[in-house]
Chains A and B, each alone.
Chain A
Amino acid sequence: EVQLVESGGGLVKPGGSLRVSCAASGLTFKNAWMAWVRQAPGKGLEWIGRIRSETDDGKADYAAPLKGRFTILRDDSKNTLYLQMNSLKTEDTAVYYCTTGLKRGEYFDSLFYWGQGTLVTVSS
């Protein structure tokens, strides 16, 4: 059974930085494409970005509005995914979900399995 457990959320001041983590189990992590999705209070889901497996070049793609402030990283030796968030704004307050999935023919579905999320609050 695939399990994704996020951690590291909390209260941070505007302009600050935070790194949240996602510990993965039940899958071959080094082959998995991993993603982050967030949900602001009372709002919808927002795709943040996705990182490919190292064998598929290990690069990440990001939603345009977040590119430059958010960075997705992975440590295959620890089966852990990270989201580094810099220059945080109050509108970054959200539950941050880690997701992954399976290779399905010609694409990798990185939005199939979901963790329970970690809350990040940006406030002074």
Chain B
Amino acid sequence: QTVVTQEPSFSVSPGGTVTLTCGLTSASVSTSSYASWYQQTPGQAPRTLIYNTNTRSSGVPDRFSGSILGNKAALTITGAQADDDADYYCVLYMSSGIWVFGGGTRLTVL
């Protein structure tokens, strides 16, 4: 069974830069994984930040960027702000035709 891995938690100082990653236990992530990234705050539905690896959704600040780093998908926040304090999820497309979410990263900005 394929598992999508994310760091359980991360901490960043206001104004700092942080990179969250999204990997696979048994393969490399590529652009064909069509990675998307979501931000979720308590009580809210997820908000799409990045789709198709590196395309920012409309209205998403340009401090958020997506990429492939090595064998993982990555979400980089450059110049973190207090309201970036949230849970972040990635999802990857599998060759079997299904999508699998990572377990999420709790990002603390302090």
A binding-site residues for B, Cβ under 8 Å: 35, 37, 44-47, 49-50, 61-64, 97, 101, 104-105, 107, 109-117
Indicate if the CB atoms of B99 and A47 lie closer than 8 Å.
Answer: yes
Indicate if the CB atoms of B101 and A50 lie closer than 8 Å.
Answer: no
Indicate if the CB atoms of B46 and A47 lie closer than 8 Å.
Answer: no
In the assembled complex, how far is the CB of residue A61 from the closest CB belonging to chain B, in whole angstroms?
Answer: 5
Indicate if the CB atoms of A111 and B36 lie closer than 8 Å.
Answer: yes
Count of chain A to chain B residue pairs whose CB atoms are closer than 8 Å in the complex: 61
In the assembled complex, how far is the CB of residue A71 from the closest CB belonging to chain B, in whole angstroms?
Answer: 16
Can you show 11 pairs from A to B with CB atoms below 8 A apart?
A44-B89, A45-B104, A46-B101, A50-B98, A61-B98, A97-B45, A104-B51, A109-B52, A112-B51, A112-B57, A114-B48
In the assembled complex, how far is the CB of residue B6 from the closest CB belonging to chain A, in whole angstroms?
Answer: 9
Task: Please indicate the chain A residues that have their CB under 8 angstroms from the CB of B103 in the complex.
Answer: 44
In the assembled complex, how far is the CB of residue B50 from the closest CB belonging to chain A, in whole angstroms?
Answer: 11
Indicate if the CB atoms of B51 and A109 lie closer than 8 Å.
Answer: yes
Cα(A116)–Cα(B102), bound, Å: 20
In the assembled complex, how far is the CB of residue B32 from the closest CB belonging to chain A, in whole angstroms?
Answer: 9
Task: Please indicate the chain A residues that have their CB under 8 angstroms from the CB of B104 in the complex.
Answer: 44-45
Interface size class of B (residues with CB under 8 A): 20 to 34
Q: Does B1 contact A (CB under 8 A)?
A: yes
B binding-site residues for A, Cβ under 8 Å: 1, 34, 36, 38, 40, 45-48, 51-52, 57, 87, 89, 91, 93, 97-104
Indicate if the CB atoms of B98 and A104 lie closer than 8 Å.
Answer: no
Cα(A96)–Cα(B104), bound, Å: 17
- Residue of A with least CB distance to B99: A47
A-B complex: 8 closest residue pairs judged by Cβ atoms: A44-B104, A45-B101, A114-B45, A47-B99, A44-B103, A61-B97, A45-B89, A112-B48
Indicate if the CB atoms of A107 and B45 lie closer than 8 Å.
Answer: no
Indicate if the CB atoms of B100 and A109 lie closer than 8 Å.
Answer: no
Indicate if the CB atoms of B52 and A45 lie closer than 8 Å.
Answer: no
Besides A47-B98, A62-B98, 5 other CB < 8 A contacts? A45-B46, A45-B104, A101-B51, A109-B51, A114-B45
